[in-house]
């Protein structure tokens, strides 16, 4: 499972879906993180085709695709930690090789199921849920104050 980078990335894309364009400084302030971290993340998102970056005084970031097309699986893959190289396992004894093979297979299966679940959610669907929650909270507060 992804750590903080994944969730910050999802929130950054939600903000871009709402505002259409933003700078790393603004995103960092809203997300309570560093602008350098945002720029690194946006570089990965740009490589993955999720955002477009403009440099210069009028620079910033915007979604490269419709929010309905960007899924959480896309974000997950763009923020994924690089997998271990096979040569990192050279020191494993032959008696442990079969266990390692089984664990690799299980890890791959879990990763595929995880990605399948994340493909069910787009940035647009999360944005709609966020709006629905805000409306619910507002309605509940209005009802409470009228009592």
Whether pTM > 0.85 for this model: the answer is: no
Given this model, what pLDDT does residue 132 score?
A: 95
Domain coordinates in residue numbering, the chain: 4-83+94-145
- Is domain 4-83+94-145 in CATH 1.10.10.10, yes or no? yes
Q: How far apart, in whole angstroms, are the C-alpha atoms of residue 67 and residue 84?
A: 31
Residue 5 has a pLDDT of: 86
Q: Is the pLDDT of residue 52 over 90?
A: yes
DSSP string across 102-141? HHHHHHHHHHHHHHHHHTT-BHHHHHHHHHHHHHHHHHHH
Cα–Cα distances in angstroms (integers) from residue 140 to residues 62, 71, 126, 127, 131, in the given order: 34, 31, 21, 20, 14
């Amino acid at each position: 499972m992804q750590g903080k980078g994944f969730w910050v990335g999802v929130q950054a894309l939600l903000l871009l879906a709402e505002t259409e364009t933003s700078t790393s400084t603004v995103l960092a302030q809203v997300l309570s993180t560093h602008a350098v971290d945002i720029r690194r993340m946006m570089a990965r998102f740009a490589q993955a085709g999720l955002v477009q970056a403009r440099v210069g005084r009028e620079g910033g970031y915007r979604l490269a695709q419709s929010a309905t097309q960007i899924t959480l699986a896309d974000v997950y893959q763009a923020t994924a930690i690089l997998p271990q190289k096979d040569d990192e396992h050279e020191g494993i004894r032959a008696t442990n090789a079969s266990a390692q093979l089984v664990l690799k297979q299980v890890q791959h299966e879990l990763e595929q199921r995880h990605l399948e679940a994340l493909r069910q959610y787009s940035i647009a669907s999360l944005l709609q849920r966020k709006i629905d929650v805000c409306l619910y909270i507002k309605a509940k507060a209005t009802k409470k104050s009228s009592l």
